[in-house]
Amino acid sequence: MIDFNNLKIAFADKSNADLNRAYFLFKGMNIPFVSKLLTGLSKFALKLQLPIKPIIKATIYKQFCGGENIEKSQITIDKLWESKIGTILDFSAEGKESKADFERALKQTLASIEKAAISDNIPFSVFKPTGLCKFSLLQKINDCTSLSAVDKKEKEEYEARVNTICQLAQDKNVAVFIDAEESWVQNAIDSIVEKMMVKYNTKKALIYNTIQFYRNDRITYLNTLLERSEGKFFIGVKLVRGAYHEQEIERAKINNYPCPVHLKKSDTDRDYNQALNICINNIDRIAICAGTHNEESSQLLANLINEKGIDKNDHRIYFSQLLGMSDHISYNLSFTNYNVSKYVPYGPIKDVMPYLIRRAEENTSIAGQMGRELRNLVAERQRRKNL
């Protein structure tokens, strides 16, 4: 059994100042009213260009982001690697609308692949499809809507950007994650990811799709993907619970269609753990990254690895958590020699603010998440006082 309660290991690389900053940050995020107020004020102040960036940078940005660019993230990369935790550099610009922004995101993703190619401590690269094209275009593709001449040109440019990334990933032998988005654009994303898998995953998994198991159809999707891939290509999957739960429920209600997500967390947990079993039972065909902040799922995967006699450091199996979250899982897994990586978002504050606001909103809405983080921080601060 992994001892996720070993806080000495979990916070070994955190100073007292780090613990205090995290404690007050999570304490505020644990109160929905305060969290909403602060995120609302932050949006308003940034819109008016009020001088609050230094405050953001010293608090929530420092907790959840690596730096303003790849070079400035090196301190975070090195610090994580001291505990044998890899870094997944994530240029966290999303929801962009201009070609210049899309090309900038493309350039950053290619740079992260180049960086990973020469760095043992960066096992993956990643990008969000909405960093490379308009959300509205993805929705049209998803709905099989007739595209205008302008739409068709933008679609070609988007697909070319994705292919350029995947081609470099193959050339540099660097695996790349393609993040999931809302259900009403996900079919369009699944389609292009599978095209890239067919093209580039002929010898091993380099291109990974992201599957959100709060979706009530994703076990079926995973099994269907296995059927389609047999004898044709390897599968790469990042398994997550999901990032847009409240939006999904609200949109389904407004538009009067069947809700695409589980309404009970236990159903999401069941599907996530079932997916772990499916993947490990097909490990010769699937490479997985278990993106989870859940101790039970993390322990389950560790147990499955041991039961199947798979090496703990098998390159086809990774655990992953977000920077600034669930260090008790990341550091204790790494300490017991499993492959672990942290998502490290980076970019200027104005670009990563949507990510940071989503981080605050999600963490406030996830039952028990903030309470657990706070309990661990309180316990570690007390442990240090008692030394």
Q: What count of other Cβ atoms lies within 10 Å of the Cβ of residue 250?
A: 12
* Predicted confidence (pLDDT) at residue 40 exceeds the cutoff of 70: no
In 3D, which of 65, 136, 158 has the Cα closest to residue 344? 65
Pick the closest to residue 129 from 162, 84, 157, 154 (CA basis): 162
The percent of residues in the chain predicted with pLDDT above 90, rounded, is 80
- Dihedral of CA atoms 76, 206, 161, 242 in degrees, nearest 10, equals -70
The least confident of 44-58, 98-112, 133-147 is 44-58
pTM as predicted = 0.93
307: closest CA among 341, 276, 350, 333? 276
- pLDDT higher than 60, residue 269: yes
45, pLDDT greater than 80: no
As a whole number of angstroms, the distance between CA 339 and CA 363 comes to: 25
Instruction: Name the helix (H) or strand (E) containing 15.
Output: none
Give strand pairing partners of 86: 341
User: Between these two residues, 282 and 61, which has the higher pLDDT value?
Assistant: 282
Q: Which residue has the higher pLDDT, 158 or 365?
A: 158
pLDDT tens sequence across 211-243: 999 999 999 999 999 999 999 999 999 999 998
C-alpha closest to that of 288 among 301, 306, 271: 301
Structure tokens given for 226: 């296995």
**Residues 6 or more apart from 198 whose CB is under 8 A from it?**
232, 233
Q: What is the pLDDT of residue 27?
A: 81
pLDDT in tens, 328-386: 999 999 999 999 999 999 998 878 877 777 666 665 545 456 688 889 999 999 999 99
Instruction: Retrieve residue 19's tokens.
Output: 């613990």
Q: Is the pLDDT of residue 19 over 60?
A: yes
Give pLDDT, residue 303: 98
For the chain, the domains span 66-346
Contact 214, 242 (CB under 8 A): yes
Q: How far apart are CA 215 and CA 218, in angstroms?
A: 6
Beta carbons of 51 and 58 less than 8 angstroms apart: no
Q: 13: which residues sit within 8 A by CB, 6+ positions away? A: 79, 82, 83
The C-alpha atoms of residue 178 and residue 318 are separated, in whole angstroms, by: 16
Residue partners of 97: CB distance under 8 A and separation at least 6: 134
Q: What is the pLDDT of residue 326?
A: 95
Match 């695996």 to its residue by tokens: 175
Q: At what angle do helices 349-365 and 369-385 cross, to 10 degrees?
A: 100
* Helices and strands per DSSP (H, E), number in the chain: 17, 8
Q: Name beta bridge partners: 125.
A: 89, 176
Token reading at 45: 């102040």
Lowest mean pLDDT among 38-47, 115-124, 172-181: 38-47
Mean residue pLDDT across the chain? 91
The mean pLDDT of 132-161, rounded to a whole number, is 97
Element (H, E) at 86: strand 86-91
Sorted by sequence, the CB contacts under 8 Å of residue 217 that are 6+ apart come out as 260
At residue 30, the pLDDT reads 67
Given this model, what pLDDT does residue 320 score?
A: 98
Fold of 66-346: TIM Barrel (3.20.20)
SS (H, E, C) 331-345: HHHHHCCCCEEEEEE
Q: Where are the beta strands (DSSP E) in 40-197?
A: 86-91, 124-127, 175-178
- pLDDT exceeds cutoff 90 at 53: no
